[in-house]
Amino acid sequence: MRARWARLACRIVGVLFVAAGLVTAVLGDEADRYHNLLHLGTGLVALWIGFGRPVETARMFCRIFGVAYLALGVLGLLLGHIEVGSLHLAFGDHMFHVVLGAVILTGG
């Protein structure tokens, strides 16, 4: 049962991140190019794992991805508004990262 959740989580994250990367690459600001590429790359890896790799790989991806996003969100909440080059992360971004990290971690 847990294996199905990990694969499903990878597939959903993959579709969402590829879509977000493509849409923002076409409609977004040129300054966010690397952020869009990060979403696109992460989404493609998640799809590859969700559809073509062993179940344990999907579970591991969910754990790593979930912990990373959860940590990024918590760190952002502690530090407040973050600017790294052209990347700007505010409260809404931090909350999104916390929720996404927790959901994906649960899937793993």
> Is residue 108 a contact partner of residue 9, using CB atoms and an 8 Å limit?
yes
C-alpha to C-alpha distance for 99 and 31, rounded to whole angstroms: 26
pLDDT tens digits, 33-61: 777 788 889 999 999 999 988 889 999 99
Q: For residue 13, give its domain range.
A: 2-107
Q: What is the pLDDT of residue 64?
A: 94
Is the pTM here over 0.85, yes or no?
Answer: no
Helices (H), the chain: 2-27, 33-52, 55-79, 91-107
- Provide the domain count of the chain: 1
